[in-house]
Amino acid sequence: MDRRCFLLAVGAAGMSPVLARAHHGWSGFDTAAPLYLAGTLVSVRWQNPHAELVLKPASGLALPGDLAQRSLPAQTAPPELADFLARTRLATPADAEWTLELAPLSRLSAWNVPQLQAGETVEVIGYRSSRSAGPLMRVEYLFHRGQAYGLRSAPA
């Protein structure tokens, strides 16, 4: 192997942990504790590897009284739904802007999720990152204009 190939191989091997961390899947999120947020979108990045939103929680945010009775859309790989909504708690801090990670654009398209815009209001249920210093949530369910979308997997 010549020197150039060797250096390229060493460089690629050194990038492996960075690339693996960049697309983290569900492993860095506390899936035992679903959280609820609702508010106004401050910014939207509609791009891969996943759409990203910044949400300013609504003033006086509280869990909706009907949350445990809401109908969730069927997904091909849903979370354990038996007590999912009953376990959902209000996300804290409720007065800080949250970064929300959605699914890849191909999955958002499969669910027919409209491209969201800053200024719109949404509700989400998801999981907080156990690795991020700031409030970061991976969204499991998105509620927008009366429609619920499951984002973990494709529609069932």
Residue-wise DSSP of 62-112? ---TTGGG-----BSS----SSHHHH-EE-S-TTS-EEEE---HHHHHHTT
Summarize pLDDT for 103-137 with one digit per residue, the tens.
999 999 999 999 999 999 999 999 999 887 889 99
pLDDT at position 28 is 84
> Cis link prior to 93 (omega < 30° from 0)?
yes
- The pTM of the full predicted model, rounded to 2 decimals, is 0.82
Residue in 153, 155, 90 with CA at minimum distance from that of residue 124: 90
Beta-bridged to residue 16, according to DSSP, are: none
Encoded tokens for 15 = 């990038």
What are the residue ranges spanned by the domains of the chain? 26-150
pLDDT at position 35 is 97
pLDDT at position 1 is 52
Is a pLDDT exceeding 80 seen at residue 5?
A: no
pLDDT at position 15 is 42
Mean pLDDT over each residue of the chain, to the nearest integer: 86
How many residues belong to the chain?
156
CA 8 to each of CA 3, 18, 33: distance values in angstroms, whole numbers, following the listed order: 9, 16, 42
Instruction: Assign 11 to helix, strand or coil.
Output: helix
pLDDT at position 41 is 98
Alpha-carbon distance of 40 to 99, in angstroms, equals 12
pLDDT at position 9 is 47
Per-residue pLDDT averaged across 98-102, rounded? 97
Residue in 97, 91, 90 with CA at minimum distance from that of residue 43: 97
CA 21 to each of CA 48, 131, 147: distance values in angstroms, whole numbers, following the listed order: 15, 10, 32
Higher-confidence residue of 65 and 20: namely: 65
Fold designation for 26-150 = OB fold (Dihydrolipoamide Acetyltransferase, E2P) (2.40.50)
Of 24-28, 62-66, 67-71, 79-83, the least confident: 24-28
Is a pLDDT exceeding 60 seen at residue 7?
A: no
